[in-house]
Chains A and B, each alone.
Chain A
């Protein structure tokens, strides 16, 4: 199991246990967990509506790539710990991470 903590826009906090090997993005996991994530582009990294802030990250968290940075740079409210949840694969590299949902709601 991969353990993540999600903090919603209203501050509510939930621990998620995700089975290993599911090959989903964090955005897909959040949607499946019934969080209100717009994710308009369906995971292509072109709408930035699945924006999350990383509050705590393991050292293994994959770095931001150029394309993701380009998109994050268009977000007025993005900060140094911002990520697009559609660009993060849920696997052992995220173990223990704490994410805060930032993107637009439906």
Chain B
């Protein structure tokens, strides 16, 4: 089990800066993020885009900002759990929290800070009848272990890079691969699209264009899918696995089940210290909402500073906090 003072859910810019503000007050932080690297949206979605509203930087590339934040918090030795999503939050008898990830990593902390930005990125699900009935029983939204699909009949759906790449990959090991796409051209890499068309011509994959999967059937495990063509005719295919690949969409995920006050997918906080309606749980950055909220990185930085000042009383209940400027005291590593 990992023991820390503050568990920060989300390792985007605001989560990273929260480490700095906590570190100034001698509080240790552990960050957990569903993405495999730190930086949140900045690193995942627009690493090379310039940001113009960070004070002191007329322009800075998103990834450079992340790198600078990592340098800035380095003296405070934060620890990280990356590529895991927080599933459970359990209040302990003494008021502290036990945070558990989907990989069963446990983090014991005095304070939880949710800095989850847009939320966690989850697979976008198509509107297919009985789709969720077969999740884990023939429906998969990603290919974690390709061996699972060896010698099986696979149907993939989608028109982006993931759909093309996995169609090509699985065609080498599966018994039968079908790719279903609602259009007749692909937006994915032209080279991959060409290979898919070539394999279809050679009969190595089945390519069904201008069509959508409309329904799933089976008994305990997926057995058959219904494919509706542009002319509304329906064809049934025998399958072992259906893999819809339509990218990721941000969702609140398990956060929505933690009894926090939520308004339009954002967590309500007070503006005194950015605590939620649950004591010792704070929400900072794009994930929170309050009157006048602006979703700006610099606003998240401000929220992180006030959160840290407030969290101090839970981490060091016996100590009195006196505010000090870094220009007076400098940065003292933990």
Give A residues with C-beta under 8 Å from B. Answer: 38, 40-42, 44, 46-49, 69-70, 73-78, 104, 106
Contacts and interface: CB of A to CB of B under 8 A. Distances in A.
Interface of B: 41, 45-46, 118-119, 124-127, 157-160, 182-183, 187, 212, 244, 246-247, 249-250, 264-265, 286, 295
B250 A76 contact: no
Nearest to A66: B187
Given A40-B265, A47-B118, A75 B124 contact: yes
B246 A75 contact: yes
B250 A40 contact: yes
A46 B45 contact: yes
Given A38-B265, A73-B187, A75-B246, A44 B45 contact: yes
- With most chain B CB atoms within 10 A of its CB, the pick from A47, A70, A77, A104 is A47
Contact of B160 (A41, A47, A73): A73
B244 A69 contact: no
A70 B126 CA distance: 17
Given A38-B265, A69-B187, A74-B247, A44 B46 contact: yes
Contacts of A40: 118-119, 249-250, 265
A48 B159 CA distance: 16
Contacts of B295: 42
B194 to A, nearest CB: 17
Interchain residue pairs A-B with the least CB separation, the first 5: A76-B126, A74-B247, A106-B264, A73-B187, A76-B246
Given A41-B118, A70-B160, 20 more contacts: A40-B119, A40-B250, A42-B286, A44-B45, A44-B46, A46-B45, A49-B250, A70-B187, A73-B159, A73-B160, A73-B183, A74-B124, A74-B158, A74-B160, A76-B126, A76-B157, A77-B126, A77-B127, A78-B182, A106-B265
9 contacts: A38-B265, A41-B41, A42-B286, A69-B187, A73-B183, A76-B125, A76-B157, A76-B246, A106-B264
Contacts of B247: 48, 74
A83 B102 CA distance: 35
